Amino acid sequence: MTLYDLPAPAKLNLFLHVVGHRKDGYHLLQSVFRLVSLSDSISIDLRRDGQTSCQTDRCAQAQEPPDIVLQAANLLQQVTGCRLGAHIDVRKRIPVGGGLGGGSSDAATVLMALNRLWRTGLSRQRLMQVGLRLGADVPFFIYGRSAFVQGIGEQMDLVDLPDLSYLIIQPAVAVSTAGIFGSPDLTRDSEPVKILDFSGVSHFVSPAKASSGVTQASSGFGRNDLQLQVEAAYPRVRAAINWAQDNGLAVRLSGSGACFFAEFDEPQQAELARSVLAAKMESFNEHGQHRVVEQVLACDGLREHPLRQWVKN
């Protein structure tokens, strides 16, 4: 039996505040995570010999290791005692080191799919507990809805977000999450907020009209506490953000970067902004010694994970 083209969607941090630091090295965060339509694709073949194997589409992301995908499969075997195996094929579309949760999403999709394929029957809460052993973001993708996230990422409350579209810009660099969180200059004492402070409003920018003539969504909640550190450590990220701002876009870093995003009311607006910036991208890259912007993508916010109904509550 084979499961074909299973989606592993990316996420955006609509804001990210670092509110504390635990003795074990983990940081305490507050954020709103939103799933978006930009997605990796995973196919899984059932193996009856108990072995697990994986291959990654090297043409898309040569540096992306399949380790977390195999770890997910092996961990589910260990937890459930399942004697079946699987071969997993991952086609990468989500930028690596971009702060979009691609590896965590791949692991979550594998857990949800194998839970169904192997008929191991774990509930959503139990599968989220298994996912947390792989990474702090994995439970969110199994939760599968927009969420106000706290702790190290394991505490989630549902938030209702409007249907919005996004422009995602990928600088030509991958960011080390550990390096950013380890910076001595990182703010670690932001004032905690309540979910009511966010009020389910995802807009974060002042009204701005891009060079395409598109007006962005508007409001003004929060910030990304990691953005200044990422910009200081990665000049290409700073240059790409400046370029987007020079073209009239209000943008914010997602997670620990490198990718950043702008928000729009309609898909057509995001696509128009994408086409304008994509046309300018090569000219901008030619001005420096190093390529600065890798790609510009348009996508839509998702109400829930496409595989959410595969898992019992």
In the chain, what percentage of residues exceed pLDDT 70? 90
For residue 143, what are the contacts with CB-CB under 8 A and spacing of at least 6? Answer: 124, 128, 156
pLDDT band at 140 (very low <50, low <70, confident <90, very high): very high
Query: What integer pLDDT is reported at residue 220 of this predicted model?
Result: 54
Question: Can you tell me the mean pLDDT for 106-126?
Answer: 97
Which CATH number is 2-159 given?
3.30.230.10
Q: Looking at residue 63, what is its pLDDT?
A: 44
- Tell whether the model's pLDDT for residue 150 goes beyond 90: yes
Q: Tell me which of 49, 137, 194, 197 is the catalytic residue.
A: 137
State yes or no: pLDDT of 61 exceeds 50.
no
Other C-beta atoms within 10 Å of 151: how many? 16
Give backbone dihedrals phi and psi of 54, rounded to 5 degrees, phi first: -150, 145
Contact criterion met (CB below 8 Å) for 61 and 170:
no
Q: Where do the CATH 3.30.230.10 domains begin and end in the chain? A: 2-159
Q: Could you report the per-residue pLDDT of 260-273, keeping only the tens digit for each? A: 999 999 999 999 99
- pLDDT value for 208: 44
Q: For 242-266, write each residue's pLDDT tens digit.
A: 999 999 999 999 999 899 999 999 9
User: Strand, coil or helix: what is 161?
Assistant: coil
β-bridge mates for residue 170, sequence order: 295
The answer to whether the CB of 297 falls within 8 A of the CB of 274 is yes
Is 67 one of the annotated active-site residues of the chain?
no
Residue 200: per-residue pLDDT: 52
The answer to whether the CB of 227 falls within 8 A of the CB of 253 is: yes
Question: What burial letters (b/e) apply to 271-309, b meaning 16+ CB within 10 Å?
Answer: bbbbebbeebbeebbeeeeeebbbebbbbbbbeebbbbe
Q: How many CB atoms lie within 10 A of CB 162?
A: 11
The predicted-structure confidence for 182-238, as pLDDT tens digits, reads as follows: 888 787 888 888 887 776 554 444 334 445 555 554 445 788 999 999 999 999 999
Q: Is residue 312 annotated as part of the catalytic site, yes or no?
A: no
More confident residue, 292 or 21: 292
Q: What is the predicted pLDDT for the residue at 194?
A: 84
Cα separation of 126 and 211, whole Å? 48
- Give the tens place of pLDDT for each residue, 68-81: 999 999 999 999 99
Output the pLDDT for position 204: 43
Percent of the chain with pLDDT over 90: 71
Check pLDDT > 60 for residue 43.
Answer: yes
State the catalytic residue, choosing from 11, 40, 89, 106.
Answer: 11
Give the sign of the dihedral formed by CA 4, CA 295, CA 105, CA 72. Answer: positive
Domain with CATH 3.30.70.890 in the chain: 165-300
Average pLDDT, the chain: 88
Q: Average of pLDDT values for 28-38?
A: 95
What is residue 152's predicted lDDT score, i.e. its pLDDT? 84
Residue 207's pLDDT is: 38
CATH number of 165-300: 3.30.70.890
Fill in the amino acid letter for 186.
Answer: L
d(CA 14, CA 7): 21
Please give the structure tokens belonging to residue 247: 């073209």
Q: Which ranges constitute the DSSP H helices of the chain?
A: 67-80, 102-117, 124-132, 138-143, 177-181, 195-198, 227-233, 235-246, 267-285
